[in-house]
Amino acid sequence: MSLTRIIGRMFVPRQKELERHISGGADLQRQVLEHLVGTAKDTEYGRNHLFGATRSYEDFARNVPVNTYEELKGDIDRMRHGERDVLWPGRVKWYAKSSGTTNDKSKFIPVSPDGLHDTHYRGGLDCVALYLRNNPHSRMFDGKGLILGGSHSPNYNLPGSLVGDLSAILIENINPLVNMVRVPKKQTALLSDFEVKRDRIARETIGKNVTNLSGVPSWMLSVLSRVMELSGKRHLEEVWPGIEVFFHGGVAFTPYRSQYEQLITSPGMHYMETYNASEGFFGLQDDPADKSMLLMLDYGVFYEFIPMDEFGSDNPTVVPLWGVETGRNYAMLISTTCGLWRYVLGDTVSFTQTNPYKFIITGRTKCFINAFGEELIVDNAERALAYACDETGAEVTEYTAAPVFMDGRGKCRHQWLIEFARQPDDDGRFARLLDKRLQELNSDYEAKRFKDITLQHLEVVRARTGLFNDWLRVKGKLGGQHKIPRLSNSRDIIDQLLRMNSTAAKHETTTNETI
């Protein structure tokens, strides 16, 4: 009998439990909130914010302020120095290093033992539970899982705390039994030099029976490219005949899908999106035919939402899960068993349905372009790029975009720096299609583009091969969970990239006929 069939029986009770998400989402979230405040009522934060007297969501919202990382940083720093019972009961040893804030190079997100098990690991287990439910003939446990992780950062350690990428923390603390079904070996998985790690992972796994992949699409693609170089094969299933699923997250999969489909041509290959971050595990694609994800409601995470048209105002509306509306763009707040309270996560989501609560990630609260009132978000960008690629046969590897506030002729526009895996058949047509689709997707962008009065036709600049990886390398962010900022109101990032681009080769600019 297949080992997967045997192991799969262990997931049946949880598969049935997950049915509670269909109609009982609000009740699940109320139970989570009750657990959070009850457990943390004797912490310093709990005493200061009346957790012991909290009897309802309304009490909680009245007594606890909305927090950014900067507002919790002082408490987190004390925890990193070994203080107990500050934001969460006991001592928190592990901290996930995440991208920085305005004031600091890095954020250090507490990862408590409770959060590790009731959120991060539960999300991983539910990912498997839902995949096996949808694919009853799977044989994923008859082989190994290639799990791509980050590294520890001992230079950031303080007495009483340890720091690393979240993926490295998960690998370090994982149940030893899981190591029987995963590759590469722990020492390789935790290497900090991504280029060395990439080569070692490829060499360690090339002779294994790898059936499933887990990781960020961009970094996994780099590892798989090395596997193909070493094997001399054309398609991945020639190296790993049993390959059947890629559990991916961290960045949108759309720009990478066609490259994966060319690399893995097996009709039995599946792709499942996950929504996990340093702060928690939040969503899973429970239906392969539906691109939206199921919000996971019975973990150690309580959710709240701020409508994006009010985000940043003095007194924005904040609603719990049972107050959201479909089709509206929200900034997400979380309270967690890691001690984050009404924390502004930085991600934006839009619900496609309720009961069950399903959503799509639309971008970041700080990752958009609104220099001219156009309100361009990452979801618009991804969909427009996919359209332009489909129409021109192009494939995008990486990209970023920012406004050009005024050029030498007093013209304003958006500038896109794009690294192509496959060049479009016609550069000008690609730019026109991208601009056209953005107008169809975003009425504010369309209005600002009207007759080129406010905003002129966008500009596309070709990036040389490897430019974005070189930029990450210079920043010390190559590998792990680091991502390219897609959209920005500032030109800081794109100007750095353009300077690096021009030192290697003269860049090509694609615009419409008027430029």
Q: What's the pLDDT tens digit per position in 244-268?
A: 999 999 877 877 788 899 999 999 9
Which one of 234, 255, 284 terminates a domain? 284
Q: Which of 304, 307, 384 is closest to 344 using CA atoms?
A: 304
Q: Which pTM was predicted? A: 0.79
Containing structural domain, residue 140: 115-284
Q: CB–CB of 255/399 below 8 Å?
A: yes
Which long-range contacts (C-beta less than 8 Å, at least 24 apart) are formed by 309-316? Answer: 311/365
Residue 70, domain member (yes or no): no
Which one of 267, 284, 301 terminates a domain? 284
Residue 152, domain member (yes or no): yes
Residues contacting 468, CB < 8 A, separation 6+: 397, 398, 400, 419, 484, 497
**pLDDT in the model for residue 175:** 85
Average pLDDT over residues 304-329: 95
Q: Do 373 and 253 lie in a common domain?
A: no
DSSP summary character for residue 457: P
Is pLDDT at 506 greater than 70 in this prediction?
no
- Measure the CA–CA gap between 409 and 147, rounded to whole angstroms: 51
- Measure the CA–CA gap between 95 and 84, rounded to whole angstroms: 14
Q: Do 278 and 378 lie in a common domain?
A: no
* pLDDT tens, position by position, 115-151: 999 999 999 999 999 999 999 999 999 999 999 877 7
Residue 416, domain member (yes or no): yes
Q: Which of 400, 511, 419, 399 is closest to 464 using CA atoms?
A: 419
- Phi first, then psi: give them for residue 293, nearest 5 degrees: -115, 155
Is pLDDT at 482 greater than 70 in this prediction?
no
- Classify the phi-psi angles of 408: left when phi > 0, otherwise alpha if psi is within -120 to 50, otherwise beta: alpha
Q: Do 381 and 270 lie in a common domain?
A: no
**Domains identified in the chain, total number:** 2
Binned at pLDDT 50, 70 and 90, residue 466 comes out as: very high
CATH code, domain carrying 279: 3.40.50
**pLDDT in the model for residue 510:** 46
Q: Do 266 and 151 lie in a common domain?
A: yes
Residue 119, domain member (yes or no): yes
Average pLDDT score, the chain: 90
* pLDDT tens, position by position, 317-346: 999 999 999 999 999 999 999 999 999 998
Beta strands in 125-169 (DSSP E): 144-147, 162-164
* pLDDT tens, position by position, 362-391: 877 777 787 777 878 888 899 999 999 999
Q: Do 270 and 376 lie in a common domain?
A: no
- Classify the phi-psi angles of 44: left when phi > 0, otherwise alpha if psi is within -120 to 50, otherwise beta: alpha
